[in-house]
Each structure stands twice: as structure tokens, then as C-alpha cells.
Amino acid sequence: MIEIRDLHTYRGLNYVLQGIDLDIPDGQCTVLLGRNGMGKTTLVQTIMGLLRPRGGTVRIDGTDIAGRPPFAIARRGVALVPQGRRLFPSLTVEENLTLGVSRRSRGSRPAGGAGWTSERVYELFPNLGQRRHHRGNQLSGGEQQMLAIGRALLTGPRLLLMDEPSEGLAPVIVERVGQVIADLREQGLAIFLVEQNYGLAIRSADSVSILANGSVVWRGTPGDLDADPAARESHLGV
Amino acid sequence: MTEFIVQTINGFTLAGVIFLVSSGFTLIFGVMRVTSLMHGAVFLLGGYVAYSVIGALHNFFWGLAAGTVAMGALGLLVERGLLPLLRHSEFAELLATLGLVFVIDDVSLAIWGGNPLNITLPGVLNDSTTLPFHGIVYPNERFFILGVSVVVAVALYALLRRTRVGAIIRAGVDDREMVSALGINVRVVFSAVFVLGTALAGFAGVLGVPVVGLAPGNDVTILLLALAVVVIGGLGSYEGALLGSVIIALADVYGTAYFPAVSYSVLFIPLVVVLLVRPQGLLGRRSMA
């Protein structure tokens, strides 16, 4: 689905991504771990087009989209569940959900992620259905996270970028997020999951990469990582 | 008492005109983060264009349409032609739109001269009505202006609250990047809002002539009022512009009528109070950065 090669991104004057090589295959959950400040969010934002890389390529099905605007990347089937959720406080739950769905784009979206409607999201997250006319900022943390996921799904993606979806949530809600990730993956959606929560990451992952100081320093399966306490200790501190 | 009632109606009429200007001003800032200092000059130029069109066609409504469309076109030209050259530099955008104020002022002075001009509304609108209380006689044109402002305000509210485009605009005020990440080409929305905002300023510039006149210097006055409105109401907020317009307009007419020596202070006291107590504006959001 996505091939990242030698990607370099600055944040202002900070040289954050220093040559990233990473593949995000179709239909799998690819997990990115790493300590705070190592560039995980910068990588997600670069893939989504929110940051413009200085060099390197990000190929979606062979087409380089590095430096394209976010809306063009979204229309190629990439959706973002951003860190901090970034819901629209001026919009109702329903408006938040359906903002990315336009009559024009419905037909032209890539086929893989088709079929998501607000009704289907409300079935998945009944709490949201009861609050569809509330403002986006009147929800609990867990509901906000579900809304952020639903909003991304309604753009009809084939790849979901999830930036720390467990952040600030109670353990039981984190558990629920883990289920949702597993379900979505089961339905054929590719997921790129950035996490601090080691447990959630390992349970969800097909493959794991670890980011440190702007480059990928370790990659393997969750099993490999579990069997490699040295890597966990030096890169994650867990 | 009679005086007070008349001043209050005056206040709401002025509020209507100020709202038409500041709603566009606040939306442009909200979605684009551009403080368009040319907004007052657009208001003035819209009136001048209408004055000439009315002179040629002898029809007020053609003048109103011409002033609106011409200013919308000017907005499109600036948004597409000028702003992309300066994108992401707020300071350059401020200076460029300020520079346009001087250009518009000088061109207007050359074409329409420095004397105050007037636009008369047609037919019954140019008459007066005797109100059923206190025997107040009030010009119809001002009721018309108030009525049209209310209609536009309602239409704008419907656009913002009831349509998908409106949802995109409101979401754009909250978080532009995230709107784009949902597959929406925000640049197109920006252009549309900028054009709508400048067209509204042109529209107000024509409609507002019976209230604020048509003369050099009005552009600065209107810009100051619009700035005060959005500071009080909260930058980027439609409801804030509505509330701010009423507060500023009433402060202006009461100040001028009852405290003429310090009328400017009366106008800006609400501004200072809001800045001290609630710097994000009465209906503004603190998180807007």
C-alpha cells in the first residue's frame, strides 16, 4: 500500500525524520513504537501531507505523493485519526462524522473502504448515536476517540493512520480501541498504529518498527520484540 | 424618551450595516487567518461603484448588484492573485491589504473626488413613516436597511448551520489542516469565503450609504468598527459578529447622542473591558491559535 523511502522531514529548524524507510502493507496492522520526541507524529503527519518532507518518497500504490496537499492524499484512500483527536468543537457529532463524505467523492473513492455510513458507525459505537446532535467537545474521552475513528472511516479509506489512539483513555476504553482495531483489520483495512501503550501495540500488530532519533532502529514481528528484552530496554524502556 | 427610541432604532440600523461588513471580515480571518485590512476600503469602493452605476442606469438595485459583484470580483483577484504570493506570512498579508487601502483610496479620490456623495433609495423607500408611538417620524430607507441586514444575517446563518459548505467553513475555523485531511480541498473553500466576505462588504457599502454616507475616510471608520466588533465578539465567530455589531453600534449612537465629547471613548470602552476580562472575545474560543 505505502512504501516510504529515505524520508527526511523538518519541523521548523528541527531535523526530525532523518531518512525513514518503512513499508505499510495492504490489510495489515503495522505498529510504530518509540519514545516521546522520536518523530512518530512527524512521520504520521508527513504521510498525511500535513508536513512537507525535505526529501525522499512516499509511494501509494507506486505513485509518489510526498509533498502533495492532505486532501489529495486523503482522496487516495488514506485517513487520519490524529493525536489529540482534533475533533471540530463547532460541529455536532453527526457533522463531525459526515464532513469528509461528499456526494461527489462517494463514487470516486477507492473501493476497499467503501460501505461506511454514519449509521454503521453508530451501530459500532452506540453512545455516539445517542449524542449525534451534541457538539464534538461535549463527549467523554472515549467517545471522542470513537468519533475520531468514525470520522476517518467515513472518508472511505484503505489505510487508517492512528496516532496514539489510547492516549488519555481509561484501560477499559483502551481495550475497546484494541477490539475496534482488530475488527477493522479483519475487514481488510490497513492500519498504521503509532502507540506508547506497549500492550495495545503488541496485541494489534502484524509487524513492529521502532523509531529512535528520526530513523527506524528495529523492525520485526511482535513475537520477535517480546523475545528481545535488550531492544525493548534500550529503545522503549519497557 | 422619543430621542432615545430614535437613537435605538438608529443603533440597530447601524448594527445591520456593521454586521454585514464584520461577518465577512470575521469569516475570512476564521478560515484563512488573514486580517484583511482592505475590508473598509472595499466597503467604500462598493458604494462608489454603485453611485456610478446608479448615475448611468437610474436604478438603485442595479447599483446594489454592481457594487456587490464588483467587490466580490476584487476579492477573487486579491485572493487568487496577491495572497498566494505572500502565503503563510501574516505580516506580509497585513501590509499588502493595508497597501491596497491606499491604492483604493487614491483611485477613488481621483474618480469620485473628495466631496461626500449620496445615494437615494427609490420610490417609497425614500419616504418616511410615522410610527404608532410618540409620533416618531422615521425614514423608510433605514427600515429597509435594517430589514435587508436581518434577511442576509438569517441567510448567512442558514448557510453556516444548515449546509455542508457551512459545516466545512465552521470546521475550517476550528482546524483547517484536519478539514484537508478529510479529503476536502480547503483552498477552494478559502477562496469562496474570501469572495463572499468582500462581496458582503461591497453590498454593505452600497446599502449603508444612507446611514454612514459616501465619503473619503469612511473606509477607516468602518474598518475600526469591524475590528472592534470582532475583538468583542471573538474572531471567526458568526454569532460573535452579530453580538459585537449590536454592542458597538449602540455604543456608537448613544455615545454620539449623549456624550458627544467622549463618543470615541464610549465606543471603545466595551472593547477594552472585553479585552481585559475575556481576551478571546465574548463568543470566541480560547483554543484558536
Q: What is the CATH number of the domain that holds A169?
A: 3.40.50.300
Q: Is the pLDDT of residue B129 over 70?
A: yes
Quick one: closest CA in A to B175, which residue? A88
pLDDT digits (tens, 9 = 90+) for B61-107: 999 999 999 999 999 999 999 998 987 788 999 999 999 999 999 99
Nearest to B37 by CA among B284, B168, B226, B233: B226
Distances (CA, A) of B108 to A122, B50, B58: 58, 13, 21
Residues of chain B with pLDDT > 90: what percent? 79
- Quickly count: other Cβ atoms within 10 Å of residue B223's Cβ: 25
Chain A: nearest CA to B133, how far in angstroms? 42
B165 reaches A (C-beta below 8 A): no
pLDDT of residue A115: 77
Beta strand ranges found along chain B (DSSP E): 128-130, 137-139
Contact B174 A82 (CB under 8 A): no
Q: Domain of A187? A: 24-38+67-236
Contact B181 A151 (CB under 8 A): no
- Alpha-carbon torsion (A226, A227, A228, A229), positive or negative: positive
Strand partners, A63: A60
Q: Are B231 and B268 in contact (CB under 8 A)?
A: no
pLDDT digits (tens, 9 = 90+) for A103-124: 555 544 444 445 788 899 999 8
pLDDT of residue A98: 92
Mutant choice from B165, B178, B179 vs A, greatest count of A C-beta within 10 A: B178
Q: Which whole number is the average pLDDT over B253-264?
A: 91
For A89, the closest of B164, B174, B185 (CB atoms) is B174
Classify burial at B36, counting beta carbons within 10 Å of its beta carbon; exposed 0-12, middle 13-18, buried 19 or more. Answer: buried
Strands A207-212 and A29-33: parallel
pLDDT of residue A112: 46
Strand partners, A76: none
Nearest to B224 by CA among B75, B21, B46, B12: B21
pLDDT of residue A63: 94
What are the residues of chain A with a beta carbon less than 8 Å away from any beta carbon of chain B?
48-50, 69-71, 73-75, 79-80, 82, 86, 88-91, 95-96, 99-100, 102, 105, 151-152, 155
- Residue A146 in any domain: the answer is yes
Grid coordinates representing A68 are 502533495
Q: Which residues of B touch A74 (CB under 8 A)?
A: 180-183
pLDDT of residue B288: 41
- Residue A102 in any domain: the answer is yes
Contact B181 A49 (CB under 8 A): yes
Chain B: nearest CA to A56, how far in angstroms? 21
- Residue A1 in any domain: the answer is no
- Residue A31 in any domain: the answer is yes
pLDDT digits (tens, 9 = 90+) for B157-204: 999 999 999 999 999 989 999 999 999 999 899 899 999 999 999 999
Q: Transcribe A161-201 into DSSP letters.
A: EEE-TTTT--HHHHHHHHHHHHHHHHTT-EEEEE-S-HHHH
**HSE-CB of A158 using CA atoms within 13 angstroms:** 16
- Taking one residue from A and the other from B, the number of pairs with CB-CB distance under 8 angstroms is 71
Chain A: nearest CA to B66, how far in angstroms? 33
Q: Which residues of A touch B174 (CB under 8 A)?
A: 88-91
Q: Is the pLDDT of residue B30 over 90?
A: no
Q: Which residues of A touch B181 (CB under 8 A)?
A: 48-50, 70-71, 73-74, 79-80, 82
Q: Is the pLDDT of residue B286 over 90?
A: no
- Residue A7 in any domain: the answer is no
Quick one: closest CA in B to A85, which residue? B178
- Quickly count: other Cβ atoms within 10 Å of residue B140's Cβ: 15
Please tell me the distance from the alpha carbon of residue B249 to that of residue B260, in angstroms, as a whole number.
Answer: 15
Q: Is the pLDDT of residue B122 over 50?
A: yes
3-state SS of chain B is CHHHHHHHHHHHHHHHHHHHHHHHHHHHHHHHCCCCCCHHHHHHHHHHHHHHHHHHHCCHHHHHHHHHHHHHHHHHHHHHHHHHHHCCCHHHHHHHHHHHHHHHHHHHHHHHCCCCECCCCCHHHHCEEECCCCCCEEEHHHHHHHHHHHHHHHHHHHHHHHCHHHHHHHHHHHCHHHHHHCCCCHHHHHHHHHHHHHHHHHHHHHHCHHHHCECCCHHHHHHHHHHHHHHHHCCCCHHHHHHHHHHHHHHHHHHHHHCHHHHHHHHHHHHHHHHHHCCCCCCCCCCCC
- Residue A227 in any domain: the answer is yes
In one letter, which amino acid is A61?
Answer: D
Look at B260 and A107; give whichever has higher pLDDT: B260
Strand partners, A81: A162
B266 reaches A (C-beta below 8 A): no
pLDDT of residue B263: 85
SS3 state of residue A212: strand
Contacts of A198 (CB under 8 A, 6+ apart): A33, A232, A236, A238
Q: Which residue ranges in chain A fall short of pLDDT 50?
A: 107-113
Please tell me the distance from the alpha carbon of residue B72 to that of residue B123, in angstroms, as a whole number.
Answer: 28
Contact A74 B180 (CB under 8 A): yes
pLDDT of residue B206: 97
How many Å from the N-terminal Cα to the C-terminal Cα in chain A?
Answer: 31
